[in-house]
């Protein structure tokens, strides 16, 4: 397979076309952004750590019967994925209150959420990814009711698989964001799953081991990502 032109430069990844219209190459860069891209830093090794982390998680999800766009690792910082038609809606599940939930609703950080919550956000940087709901998504044509139901069901299945995986490594899966797309009409998990897009706490000490270390200036960002990976069996090469 041949790598062709750069199609898109995101905040942390770049997307390339290939000679196969059904396949793309994702390049995980070292760039790390927070606060809607107002803070960007390059963190050494992040591209390779997230590339391998994501490959491992996508493999686990696929084994559990969840369709993902992941196909194969291509290099330290690149992987081959299916070319999805992305749905511009982010799905967030929360098991424990943190982040924007704490800010917008004034609830206490660390509170267990029973049952876990499910939220939709519009993927739109200029509008700061506003929270939306099924009605708005349907009316504005961002996703159909059937697609939304499937995305919700898959997002909760991911929760069961990954809560158990991280629990084995002594961690709590606090929350995470997923993005989906269509591949020949089928809803498929896209984007990435890495400590950039989820919250993970040590189960005993509740130490933050995810991107909040970057957002909150806690230091040892990539070291924590590697620690998370080691605890669940990711091979960083």
Pair of tokens at residue 14: 């770049």
- The C-alpha angle 8, 59, 125, rounded to 5 degrees, equals 30
Q: Work out which of 99, 134, 150, 182 binds ligand C5P, going by CB under 6 A.
A: 99
Pair of tokens at residue 233: 């069996």
Q: Work out which of 100, 147, 161, 163 binds ligand C5P, going by CB under 6 A.
A: 100
Scanning 17-25, 74-82, 94-102, 229-237 for contacts with ligand C5P by CB under 6 A, the matching segment is 94-102
Distance CA 228, CA 220 (A): 12
In angstroms, give the least distance from the CB of 156 to ligand C5P. Answer: 15
In angstroms, give the least distance from the CB of 92 to ligand C5P. Answer: 5
Scanning 49-57, 61-69, 93-101, 148-156 for contacts with ligand C5P by CB under 6 A, the matching segment is 93-101
Distance CA 212, CA 141 (A): 33
Name residues contacting ligand C5P, limited to 169-228 (CB under 6 A): 175-177, 197-199, 211
**Cis peptide preceding 112, ω within 30 of 0:** no
In angstroms, give the least distance from the CB of 104 to ligand C5P. Answer: 8
Pair 182, 119: CB distance under 8 Å: no
Q: Does 92 bind ligand C5P (CB under 6 A)?
A: yes
Using DSSP's 3-state secondary structure scheme, residue 28 falls into strand
Residue 150: Cβ within 10 Å count: 15
Binding stretches for ligand C5P (CB under 6 A) = 90, 92, 99-101, 129, 175-177, 197-199, 211
């Amino acid at each position: 397979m041949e790598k062709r032109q750069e199609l898109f430069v995101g905040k942390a990844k770049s997307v390339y076309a290939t000679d196969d219209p059904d396949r793309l190459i994702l390049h995980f860069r070292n760039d790390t952004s927070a606060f809607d891209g107002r803070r960007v830093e390059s963190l050494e090794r992040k591209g390779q750590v997230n590339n391998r982390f994501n490959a491992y998680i996508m493999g686990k999800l696929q084994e559990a019967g969840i369709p993902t766009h992941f196909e194969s690792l291509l290099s330290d910082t690149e992987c081959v994925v299916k070319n999805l038609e992305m749905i511009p809606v982010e799905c967030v599940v929360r098991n424990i209150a943190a982040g924007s939930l704490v800010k917008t609703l004034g609830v206490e950080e660390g509170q267990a959420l029973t049952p876990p919550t499910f939220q939709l956000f519009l993927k739109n940087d200029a509008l700061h990814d506003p929270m939306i709901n099924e009605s708005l998504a349907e009316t504005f044509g961002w996703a159909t009711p059937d697609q939304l139901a499937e995305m919700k069901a898959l997002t909760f299945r991911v929760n069961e698989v990954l809560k158990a995986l991280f629990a084995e490594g002594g961690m709590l899966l606090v929350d995470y964001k997923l993005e989906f797309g269509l591949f020949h009409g089928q809803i498929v998990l896209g984007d990435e799953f890495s400590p950039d897009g989820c919250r993970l706490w040590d189960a005993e000490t509740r130490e933050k081991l995810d991107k909040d270390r970057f957002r909150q200036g806690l230091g040892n960002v990539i070291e924590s990502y590697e620690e998370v990976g080691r605890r669940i069996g990711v091979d960083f090469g």
